[in-house]
Structure 1
Amino acid sequence: MIAVLRSELHRTLTVPSSWITMGAAVVMGMAFALFSVEFWSLFAALGVFGIAVVTTTQHYQHRTAMLLFLGEPRRWRAFAAQCLATILVGLVVAAVSGLTTILSGDFGQFAGTMAAVPVLAVFGVASATVLRRPVPLFLGFGTWFVFGEGLAFRFEQPLPFTSFMSAAGGNPKGLLVFTGWTVVTLAIALWYIRRDLTD
């Protein structure tokens, strides 16, 4: 599994689209943190989720998943390596983008966001493993965030992104609820990963 993890980290750090996503997340997070630490958490989350989705779906789009699973036939171990690689990269991106949050002295928001980032990374990898296409996934979750959680439920119900933002604010209950959503998505992904690669 260590070899797969090294391979995933190498691939993530050598794909130009990953660097674009990471760079955008860092710059936007640092910029918006000057206005609101909640905005920093939101853009850090978008960056981590974007990295998770882009790096995972590229395996299926570019047909490298077949090579990955030939190298590690136990697909759940390859999936675990993808999650670990995304967690490590996500933590670094969130920490760097949060420098302005630390300088402003809002350690609670920074700590809450950093605690929720690993769970978000797994949520992103699991979601991308199920759908395998980045554009429909981004459009679907973006629409759900704005119209579902925002307009319909006014960010008051324990739904995935609302609970993430609650966790980012330092609320342990929000982290627990978001972890629950991630566990459900993870279970679906571990079942879906057995699908044929031509799907």
Structure 2
Amino acid sequence: MIAVVRSELYRSVSIRSSWLSLVGFAFMAALFGWFSKELWSLFAGLGAFGIAVTVTAQHYQHRTGVLVFLNHPHRWRVLIAQCLSAAVLGTMVAAVSGVAVLLDESAAHYRSTVLVAPVMAVFGTLCTIVVPHPMWLLGGVFAWLLFAEVLINRMANGLPFAAFSLASGGNVKALLVLLAWTTAAIPIAVWAIHRDLSGD
């Protein structure tokens, strides 16, 4: 298991698109951190989700998924390794991008956001296993966030990105909602990771 996690992390940081994604998401979150700690939290969550989508989908884009699964026939181990590596990268994005919030004496908000970011990264990995096309997934997430969470739900607790935003402020109930969304995605991802990749 450790070897698979190490391999996933090495692959993630050795591909140029991964580095660009890490820097891009961290920069966007840091930029919004100068204006509002709540905006920083939201964009740190989006960054954790986005980097998870980017690094997980590369297996399907570059056709390396078949080789990984041949080398590691227990696909659930690969899924766990991908979730762990995405959690590490998502935490890095949140931790690095929140320096402005930390300097603004909002240490508690910074800490809670960094602690919740790995959950959003795992959620992003699970979603990518189900929908392995990053442009489709990110486009769908953008539409979901804009219409379902902002316009209809008004960023109230109950939906994943709103739950992340509230949980990053220390709301335990919102954290439980985010964990529920992540847990609900696990069986779907476990089913999806066993599909035949030859048609992708």
Q: CA RMSD in A?
A: 1.1
Q: Say if 1:149 and 1:157, in contact at 8 Å, map to a contact too.
A: no
Say if 2:151 is the partner of 1:151. yes
- 1:106-185, aligned counterparts within 5 Å? 106-185=106-185
Match of 1:17 in 2: 17
Match of 1:63 in 2: 63
Structure 1: unaligned runs, 5 residues or longer: none
Query: How far apart, CA to CA, are the structure 2 residues paired with 1:101 and 1:163?
Result: 20
Residues 71-114 of structure 1 show CA distances to partners (whole Å, capped at 9, x for unaligned) of 11100001101111111111112111111111101122212211
Q: Say if 1:90 and 1:118, in contact at 8 Å, map to a contact too.
A: yes
Q: Say if 2:126 and 2:185, in contact at 8 Å, map to a contact too.
A: yes
CA drift of 1:175 comes to 0.5
Residues 11-55 of structure 1 show CA distances to partners (whole Å, capped at 9, x for unaligned) of 100111111111112222222111100111122112111110011
Q: What residue identity is the alignment partner of 1:53?
A: V
Q: What residue identity is the alignment partner of 2:128?
A: A
CA drift of 1:157 comes to 4.3
Q: TM-score if structure 1 supplies the norm length?
A: 0.96
Q: Say if 2:53 and 2:124, in contact at 8 Å, map to a contact too.
A: yes
Q: Secondary structure at the match of 2:108?
A: helix
CA drift of 1:198 comes to 2.2
Say if 2:30 is the partner of 1:30. yes
Q: Say if 2:157 and 2:174, in contact at 8 Å, map to a contact too.
A: no
Q: What residue identity is the alignment partner of 1:17?
A: S
Identity over the aligned pairs, expressed in percent? 47
Q: Secondary structure at the match of 1:46?
A: helix
Query: Is the alpha carbon distance of 1:95 and 1:62 closer, same or farther for their aligned partners in structure 2, counting shifts above 3 Å?
Result: same
Count of aligned positions? 199
Query: How far apart, CA to CA, are the structure 2 residues paired with 1:6 and 1:37?
Result: 33
